[in-house]
Amino acid sequence: MSKIGRLPITIAQGATVTVEGRHVTVTGPKGTLVQKLPRGIEVEVKDGIVNVSAKTKSKADMSNHGTIRALLNNNITGVTTGWSKKLELVGTGFRAEVSGKTLILTVGFSHTVPIEAPEGITFTVEKTFVTVAGPSREVVGQVSAEIRAVRPPEPYKGKGIKYSDEVIRRKAGKAAAKTTGAA
């Protein structure tokens, strides 16, 4: 039995969880999320607690057991408090602005790069920081990864778009290589 999967999930204040066939719907003040269940997993909601169980002891069911429990817990957290990721633009002249539901990046190209926000995702810009927020942890992470992929940080000067808590390993460059090189 999965150590994570067997833990009960307490439903946070303001959230409701309903099971309809193979779909679990989580509703809260930040939105509604639907999680599809694999075949060997059952979910039971009782007295404000969600229990996830595997029907059989097969490898597929046991591996899905903990995963589905973690996804449901993330959904409950998302619809009550929400998820967010903060990115930092590092580089001279690098900036971002929000126009409606579109994030417009100016990151050293000859053109601007527009990124459309999917349903439920919001962008916030403060100086050189961009915050991506929404109820779904998966979508917030995917949109953040797409923004970072526009201009990933490079190892010589550290220019690019990086997560705010990311540490870029710096390389020395040519000048340092010449001074330590052989005769």
Say if 14 falls within a structural domain: yes
- Whether residues 76 and 88 share a domain: the answer is no
Say if 172 falls within a structural domain: no
pLDDT value of position 104: 97
pLDDT digits (tens, 9 = 90+) for 9-46: 999 999 999 999 999 999 999 999 999 999 999 999 99
Tokens of 67: 């995963």
Who contacts 39 (Cβ-Cβ below 8 Å, separation ≥6)? none
- Whether residues 93 and 145 share a domain: the answer is yes
Q: Has residue 159 got a pLDDT over 90?
A: yes
Say if 51 falls within a structural domain: yes
Say if 58 falls within a structural domain: yes
Residues 106 and 114 sit within 8 Å (Cβ to Cβ): no
pLDDT value of position 1: 61
β-pairing verdict for 113-116 and 102-106? antiparallel
The domain boundary, picked from 80, 114, 143, lies at 80
**How confident is residue 173, by pLDDT bands cut at 50, 70 and 90?**
confident
Domain of residue 118: give its range. 83-163
Tokens of 175: 């000048």
pLDDT digits (tens, 9 = 90+) for 89-121: 999 999 999 999 999 999 999 999 999 999 999
Say if 102 falls within a structural domain: yes
Tokens of 172: 């020395």
- Alpha-carbon separation of residue 182 from 87, 176, 178, 179 (angstroms): 41, 12, 8, 9
3-state secondary structure 20-75: ECCEEEEEECCEEEEEECCCCEEEEEECCEEEEEECCCCHHHHHHHHHHHHHHHHH
Say if 118 falls within a structural domain: yes
Kindly report the pTM of this predicted structure.
0.88
- Whether residues 70 and 96 share a domain: the answer is no
Which residue reads 């970072």 in tokens?
Answer: 148
- Whether residues 131 and 112 share a domain: the answer is yes
To 5 degrees, how large is the angle CA 76–CA 79–CA 85?
100
Residues 77 and 28 sit within 8 Å (Cβ to Cβ): no
The domain boundary, picked from 27, 60, 80, lies at 80
- Whether residues 60 and 109 share a domain: the answer is no
How many domains, in total, are found in the chain? Answer: 2
Q: How far apart are CA 148 and CA 157, in angstroms?
A: 16
**77: enclosing H helix or E strand:** helix 59-80
The domain that contains 128 carries what CATH number? 3.90.930.12
First to last CA, the chain: 63
Say if 173 falls within a structural domain: no
Identify the three-state secondary structure at position 2: coil
Look over the chain and give the mean of its residue pLDDT values, rounded to a whole number.
Answer: 93
- Whether residues 124 and 94 share a domain: the answer is yes
